[in-house]
Amino acid sequence: MHTEKEGDWTPTQIPSIPHLSGSDNDSGMWWDAGAPTDSFYQVRPECTDVPKTKFRIKAGKTLSARKWQTAFTPEGYLDIARTLSRIRRGGIHPSIRGEVWEFLLGCYDPKSTFDEREQIRQHRREKYALLKEECRQMFPLIGSGRFLTAPVVTEDGEPVQDPVVLKELGLLPEENGASGGSEMVKEPSGHGPQDKKVIQWKLTLHQIGLDVVRTDRTLEFYEKQENLSKLWDVLAVYAWFDADVGYCQGMSDLCSPMIILLQDEADAFWCFEHLMRRLRGNFRCTESSVGVETQLSNLASITEVIDPKLHQHLETLGGGNYLFAFRMLMVLFRREFSFGDSLYLWEMMWALEYDPYLFSVYEDSKSASEKHKGSKGKPKSMRQFGKYERDNRKNGVNSQAHLPISVFLVASVLENRSSKLLTEARGLDDVVKILNDITGNLDARKACRGAMKLHKKYLKKA
């Protein structure tokens, strides 16, 4: 029997959302059909230059809480094909977005039951608690409800004892002046002062803090210290968990929506971690190369096939490495769309790319995997794949080798701006300016359609 935990809800229990108005027979709940999704992510009143959303909740098209509920069997099996189709038609209602994302990113197998998912959820929460405690032992500010923006160790691992910074963080007693900050920088047993992994992790903590205070700062959600601290904790724990990648700028933009959509910090961490399994290659940097260069190279190849004139023009301007598209690929268009529209774009992309084998690759719960041992080898119905993934398979593109739809999204943007780039761009600064003009002017659904068309065109020509 599926048990409900405080702060969680399943398709068998639809929460009330008091700030919504109007009714919709399709949803089975009160909501404002046609309302902009940005109304769910309140912008601070003083921020007047924020891009406005183009996405509207549409009755009969948007995946509503009611449709989400009816997509499950009594045992908890999810009709993923029906769900993907609905998302592709109209996105996901903000009230259920976090829970649906966990399926889209492969956190849960659609062919699992409520009870099995609850086991996995609890297993992951326990695992996160252990990771966080390990980090707290190395740096007690983790989990304290505070975060920092100043360096705490030198490159050699020596503690930085700045009394001004320590006092600002509340780590120096007000009265007696004793060195209360020593606990923050002390080396616990098990990790020596020269442990390179620990030093590298501690070096990233202030950079995470600097990025946290800049991330989605227009949203009222991040006016609360506890939410900023939660984002800092999740990113700090991830940097320790995935030491090969650590922390890089841009990760806070990818993690922030998880913090907003998923109430439990551990759930937000694992949702972010599953997203990073797809994107971590973008953040792997060396002294000679940037991880996203592979995708930039693929973008160049696509443009050369689809629009050879534009590709030649960009090469002439010195932009043949396509670095001007770096940001779009790194943070998945977070800066080109409003907050609500960027979430809509992501879920459209994930629904199009969905691979039912995701869970068998990502699964980390032994108890839940036993039931599926016999079925994992069976071929999946093509209906269970996203439309983009189906097109790749129909054309014989290996799932390990095909390009992410995000590359075709950028290629589609370039194709739409091709005439302007060819006639007005006389240097790379012009290219950047023309592409910056798209901020707030893109339609997520049309962008995905354009990417799909370009993908088919590329498969035929290539």
Question: Does residue 154 share a domain with residue 44?
Answer: no
Q: What is the mean pLDDT of residues 169-196?
A: 51
Does 360 share its domain with 449? yes
Asked if residue 29 belongs to a domain, the reply is: no
399-446 tens-digit pLDDT: 556 789 999 999 999 999 999 999 999 999 999 999 998 888 888 889
Q: Are residues 163 and 261 in the same domain?
A: yes
Q: Is residue 18 situated within a structural domain?
A: no
Is 158 within the bounds of a domain?
Answer: yes
300 and 437 in a single domain? The answer is yes
Do residue 456 and residue 358 come from a single domain? yes
In this predicted structure, the answer to whether residue 303 has a pLDDT above a threshold of 50 is yes
201 lies in some domain: yes
Q: Worst-scoring range by mean pLDDT, 31-45, 85-99, 196-210, 288-302?
A: 31-45
For the domain that residue 426 is a member of, what is the CATH number? 1.10.472
What percent of the chain shows pLDDT beyond 70? 78
Distance CA 282, CA 327 (A): 11
> 112 and 144 share a domain?
no
Residue 429 within any structural domain of the chain: yes
Percent of the chain with pLDDT over 90: 61
Using 50, 70 and 90 to split pLDDT, how confident is the model at 230? very high
Asked whether residue 2 is assigned to any structural domain, the reply reads no
Query: pLDDT tens-digit profile of 145-154?
Result: 999 898 888 8
pLDDT at 152 (0 to 100): 87
**pLDDT exceeds cutoff 60 at 370:** no
When pLDDT is averaged across residues 196-214 and rounded to a whole number, the result is 95
Packing angle between helix 444-461 and helix 339-353, nearest 10 degrees?
40
Q: Has residue 13 got a pLDDT over 50?
A: no
pLDDT of 354 reads: 95
Average pLDDT, the chain: 83
Instruction: Please name the residue that has the structure tokens 């900050």.
Output: 181
* Domain count across the chain: 3
Residue 8 reports pLDDT greater than 70: no
83-140: pLDDT as tens digits = 999 999 999 999 999 999 999 999 999 999 999 999 999 999 999 999 999 999 999 9
b/e burial code for range 206-223 (CB count within 10 A of at least 16 → b): bbbbbbbeebbebbebbe
Query: Which distant-in-sequence residues (6+ apart) come within 8 Å of 148 by Cβ?
Result: 141, 165, 169, 205, 206, 209
Whole-model pTM: value is 0.85
Q: How confident is the model at residue 363 (pLDDT cuts 50, 70, 90)?
A: low
Residue pair 66/15 in contact (Cβ under 8 Å)? The answer is no
Mean pLDDT, to the nearest integer, of 370-375? 43
- Looking at the fold, whether 405 and 261 belong to one and the same domain comes out as no
When pLDDT is cut at 50, 70 and 90, the band that residue 315 belongs to is very high
Judge if 108 and 121 occupy the same domain.
no
- Tell the residue number behind the tokens 């809800």, with chain if given: 9
Start-to-end C-alpha separation, the chain: 52
Tell me which of 256, 280, 304 is where a domain ends: 280
Query: Between these two residues, 379 and 304, which has the higher pLDDT value?
Result: 304
* 393/353 Cα distance (integer angstroms): 11
**pLDDT band for position 36 (cuts 50, 70, 90):** low
Question: Based on the domain organization, do 265 and 309 belong to the same domain?
Answer: no
Residue 151 and residue 84 share a domain: no
Q: How many CB atoms lie within 10 A of CB 137?
A: 13
pLDDT tens digits, 48-67: 888 888 888 888 899 999 99
Rounded Cα distance between 151 and 205, Å, is 7
pLDDT for 277 beyond 70 = yes
At 118 the pLDDT is 96
In the predicted model, what is the mean pLDDT of residues 25-35? 48
* Residue 310 domain boundaries: 293-461
Residue 177 above 60 pLDDT?
Answer: no
Residue 1 has pLDDT above 70, yes or no: no
Q: Give the end of a domain, one of 116, 134, 155.
A: 116
The encoded tokens of residue 359 equal 């869970």
The pLDDT of residue 22 is 35
Residue 377 lies in a domain: yes
CATH number at residue 246: 1.10.8.270
Residue where a domain terminates, one of 116, 137, 168: 116
Q: Is residue 4 part of a domain?
A: no
- Per-residue pLDDT at 235 exceeds 70: yes
Average pLDDT of span 176-190: 43
Question: Residue 291 pLDDT > 70, yes or no?
Answer: yes
Residue 161 has pLDDT above 80, yes or no: no
Query: Is residue 110 located within the same domain as residue 124?
Result: no
Q: What is the mean pLDDT of residues 389-403?
A: 80
Report the pLDDT averaged over residues 199-225.
95
- 29 sits in which H/E element: strand 29-30
Q: Which residues contact 334 (CB under 8 A, 6 or more apart)?
A: 253, 254, 342
User: What mean pLDDT do residues 279-295 have?
Assistant: 78
- 123 and 83, same structural domain? no
pLDDT the model gives residue 68: 97
8 Å CB contact between 149 and 209: yes
pLDDT at residue 247 is higher than 90: yes
